[in-house]
A and B are shown apart, each in its own frame.
Chain A
Amino acid sequence: MIGFIVKRIISSIPILLGVTLLIFILLHIVPGDPVTLMMNEHVDPDTIVRVRAQMHLDEPIFVQYLNFIWDALHGDFGVSYKLNRSVATLLLDAFPNTLLLAISAMIFSWVVGVPAGILSVVKKYSVIDYFFMGSALMGVSMPVFWSGLLLQYIFAFKLGWLPVSGFNNPLCLIMPAVVLGWGAAGTIARLTRSSLLEVMGNDYIRTARAKGLQTIAVLFNHALKNSFLPVVTVMAIQVASMLSGSVITETVFSIPGIGRIAVNAIQTRDLPLLQGSILFTTILVILGNLAADLLYFLLDPRIKNK
């Protein structure tokens, strides 16, 4: 078992390196010189050369990459051009907000998605089933930024129940979490349903029924645990989509998180900050994938005993 975990961790290292290299190359093939871009046009050429050397921009891109990785391993992501502060500090300040948002959204999506999926199976082909599956598909088809605006209009402006934006009290968290979790809830509900229906066709379900268990008991005692396996694997994908989604959610609701930093960095063309925030998010996604894999491993005895 420990062997599996170690193997899984080791196998995610090349992916991490590949991802960072990809971002690095993508960011550094930008036409135009980043230093000239960030300074105003009247700076003397000596300064530009000095700054370039200071930021190692005069070296070959591969050396720059190794430097970047080396520094990143030491927790140094460079200094923001525009804000003149350490990128690492900026990210660490913002991270708890993003994490809180992602966790709330995740909880929302599971609390809503799983029961909806189960209920759809219990009441298969009924109005309830169609309602849940219709809403789930709506959730998947709704642009996150738009549903955020819609909720703001209804619950903040028209009804006045919730604050429009900000991040200074727990009520502020409700709308962003719902908006961010809605799509994921839809995916989870659909997957729970289809997976449960597939499991219900298995021979061991017939055995359980032959034992005299009632349908509900069969569903909860024998089908649910098995049907969770595929649902858990999409968790990995959802961690990624939550973090992507949080970019938009944070923008719409003015939440000072990593996503907003990334968007601001793009708008102000702040290379170190963009690089840092994207790398940071990617690491989170890879860790999320790892966690989902381990969870899968714990749930399925067939893998555990190998």
Chain B
Amino acid sequence: MAEYSAMIDDHTIRGTSTPEKDKMLEVKGLKTYFFTSKGVIPAVDDISFTVSRGRILGVVGESGCGKSMTALSIMGLVPPPTGKIVAGDIILDGKNIASLTEKEMCQIRGNEISMVFQEPMTSLNPVYTVGKQVMEAAILHQHLSKAQAKEKTLEMFKLVGIPEPKKRLDSYPHQLSGGLRQRVMIAMALICRPKLLIADEPTTALDVTVQAQILQLMKKLQTELDSAIVLITHDMGVVAEVCDDVTIMYAGKIVEQANVFEIFDNCLHPYTAGLLKAMPAFKENGERLYNIPGMLPNLLQLPKGCRFYPRCECASAICAEQEPDLVEVGQGHFVRCLKYRG
């Protein structure tokens, strides 16, 4: 196997474990289901993970694997009326927010947890200036006056590296490039200095060069604000660039969980191996880009055994029959595969 961890350039701080008291977010046994006329879709099926202060957790998987729904569940924004959190605890800085009312959740959203979305082109309201949209959160949660909020927004614009910040306050979203809009979104998310930032594919819609800038910006700001980040992505390259810990999801379940070095150097699950192999960076000259064969299973008609079995290269007969459990195979390294049971 290739030395994937060669991609990770700052070996100094990442990958080391952190003490218990620094846990910022703990998700325990989260289940989010959709109750449609066609049946129940287990979009998020018993997910648990922990993110500590100052660390970035990458949640990785193909689109449709439930990673975005995990994020929306934490935010309390699962789309009603079909979607519903049916079980689990979401503990933010010692407080269980899964049981809060909508009104209480409104005080947490944008304040203690905030979110950056995938589509910077459509995530800003076209009829208001970006300045007004960023200010809104500060006025709402920190009870600032308009002038104070404007001052603070200007400060944030500078912090996220928006050129001519003063002028940009009065710009409308359509006047900004995708990269700038995403910086505006980040400014909006961080203006109240949240404990947790959830970034859902924040760079997917951007050019490759801008992607790297945005990722570095997020990493830099995180160090400054000392918050925790959950970074949702399908791109192992992004994980290599910024994440400390990694959770790999497949069809609503976690299939592998470890720190970033373990994942890149010692990955165990065939799906993780497939994801790594599919990274463009490892394409040899003239070689075709690798693709994991097959498609995500229909969540309405899940296979009986392992959910990855139909696409797995190392499947054996038993995989079709028995569903594997998530087992700890090394220090903090979990995997859900029958190859590693016991």
Report if A and B touch in the complex (beta carbons < 8 A): yes
A129: min CB distance to chain B, Å: 14
Within 8 A of B (CB), among A212-232: 212-215, 221-222, 225-226
Q: Are B126 and A302 in contact (CB under 8 A)?
A: yes
A258: min CB distance to chain B, Å: 37
Q: Are B136 and A210 in contact (CB under 8 A)?
A: no
Q: Are A210 and B174 in contact (CB under 8 A)?
A: no
Q: Are B109 and A212 in contact (CB under 8 A)?
A: yes
1/0 contact string of B116-141 vs chain A (CB within 8 Å): 01010011111110000100110011
A213: min CB distance to chain B, Å: 7
Q: Are A213 and B124 in contact (CB under 8 A)?
A: no
Residues of A within 8 A of B124 (CB): 204, 207
* Beta-carbon nearest neighbor of B111 in chain A: A212
Given that A203-B117, A206-B117 are contacting pairs, would A211 and B123 also be in contact in the complex, using a CB cutoff of 8 Å? no
Q: In this assembly, does B300 line the interface, its C-beta being within 8 Å of a C-beta of chain A? A: no
The contact of B137 among A202, A211, A299, by CB within 8 Å, is: A211
Q: Are B123 and A206 in contact (CB under 8 A)?
A: yes
Q: Are B110 and A210 in contact (CB under 8 A)?
A: yes
Q: Are A212 and B137 in contact (CB under 8 A)?
A: yes
Q: Are B75 and A210 in contact (CB under 8 A)?
A: yes
A126: min CB distance to chain B, Å: 13
Residues of B within 8 A of A225 (CB): 127-128
The contact of A214 among B103, B119, B125, B128, by CB within 8 Å, is: B103
Residues of A within 8 A of B141 (CB): 212
In the assembled complex, the Cα of A228 lies from the Cα of B102 at a distance in Å of 27
Given that A204-B122, A210-B109, A212-B109 are contacting pairs, would A305 and B136 also be in contact in the complex, using a CB cutoff of 8 Å? no
* Beta-carbon nearest neighbor of B185 in chain A: A207
A281: min CB distance to chain B, Å: 34
Residues of A within 8 A of B110 (CB): 210-213
Residues of A within 8 A of B144 (CB): none
In the assembled complex, the Cα of A299 lies from the Cα of B127 at a distance in Å of 8
Q: Are B125 and A222 in contact (CB under 8 A)?
A: yes
Q: Are A212 and B108 in contact (CB under 8 A)?
A: yes
Q: In this assembly, does A28 line the interface, its C-beta being within 8 Å of a C-beta of chain B? A: no
Residues of A within 8 A of B114 (CB): 210-211
In the assembled complex, the Cα of A207 lies from the Cα of B124 at a distance in Å of 7
The contact of B172 among A204, A226, A299, A302, by CB within 8 Å, is: A302
* Beta-carbon nearest neighbor of A205 in chain B: B125
Q: In this assembly, does B188 line the interface, its C-beta being within 8 Å of a C-beta of chain A? A: yes
Q: In this assembly, does A300 line the interface, its C-beta being within 8 Å of a C-beta of chain B? A: yes
In the assembled complex, the Cα of A86 lies from the Cα of B122 at a distance in Å of 58
Within 8 A of B (CB), among A178-223: 202-204, 206-215, 221-222
* Beta-carbon nearest neighbor of A204 in chain B: B125
Residues of A within 8 A of B125 (CB): 204, 207-208, 222, 226
Q: Are B122 and A202 in contact (CB under 8 A)?
A: yes
Q: Which of B109, B125, B137 is packed against the most chain A CB atoms within 10 Å?
A: B125
Q: Are B75 and A301 in contact (CB under 8 A)?
A: no
Q: Are B107 and A212 in contact (CB under 8 A)?
A: yes
1/0 contact string of B169-212 vs chain A (CB within 8 Å): 00010110000000001001000000000000000000000000
A170: min CB distance to chain B, Å: 38
Q: In this assembly, does B249 line the interface, its C-beta being within 8 Å of a C-beta of chain A? A: no
Residues of A within 8 A of B175 (CB): 305
B200: min CB distance to chain A, Å: 10
Residues of B within 8 A of A300 (CB): 126-127
B170: min CB distance to chain A, Å: 11
A270: min CB distance to chain B, Å: 50
In the assembled complex, the Cα of A299 lies from the Cα of B175 at a distance in Å of 16
* Beta-carbon nearest neighbor of B192 in chain A: A212
Q: In this assembly, does B115 line the interface, its C-beta being within 8 Å of a C-beta of chain A? A: yes
B202: min CB distance to chain A, Å: 13
In the assembled complex, the Cα of A210 lies from the Cα of B192 at a distance in Å of 13
1/0 contact string of B50-90 vs chain A (CB within 8 Å): 00000000000000000000000001010000000000000
In the assembled complex, the Cα of A202 lies from the Cα of B126 at a distance in Å of 11
Q: Are A226 and B188 in contact (CB under 8 A)?
A: no
Q: Are A207 and B117 in contact (CB under 8 A)?
A: yes
B130: min CB distance to chain A, Å: 11
A198: min CB distance to chain B, Å: 13
In the assembled complex, the Cα of A249 lies from the Cα of B268 at a distance in Å of 79
Q: In this assembly, does B106 line the interface, its C-beta being within 8 Å of a C-beta of chain A? A: yes
In the assembled complex, the Cα of A221 lies from the Cα of B126 at a distance in Å of 12
In the assembled complex, the Cα of A59 lies from the Cα of B110 at a distance in Å of 76
In the assembled complex, the Cα of A202 lies from the Cα of B110 at a distance in Å of 18
Q: Are B122 and A301 in contact (CB under 8 A)?
A: no
In the assembled complex, the Cα of A222 lies from the Cα of B127 at a distance in Å of 9
Q: Are A211 and B109 in contact (CB under 8 A)?
A: yes
B177: min CB distance to chain A, Å: 15
In the assembled complex, the Cα of A209 lies from the Cα of B140 at a distance in Å of 12
* Beta-carbon nearest neighbor of A224 in chain B: B127
Can you list 6 A-B pairs, Cβ within 8 angstroms, ordered by A? A204-B126, A209-B77, A211-B110, A211-B114, A301-B127, A301-B174
With A206-B77, A210-B77, A211-B140 given, can you name 20 additional A-B contacts, CB distance below 8 Å? A204-B122, A204-B123, A204-B124, A204-B126, A207-B123, A207-B124, A208-B125, A209-B109, A210-B75, A210-B109, A210-B110, A210-B115, A212-B106, A212-B108, A213-B136, A214-B102, A215-B102, A299-B127, A301-B172, A302-B126
**B interface residues, Cβ below 8 angstroms from A:** 75, 77, 102-103, 106-111, 114-115, 117, 119, 122-128, 133, 136-137, 140-141, 172, 174-175, 185, 188
**A interface residues, Cβ below 8 angstroms from B:** 202-204, 206-215, 221-222, 225-226, 299-302, 305
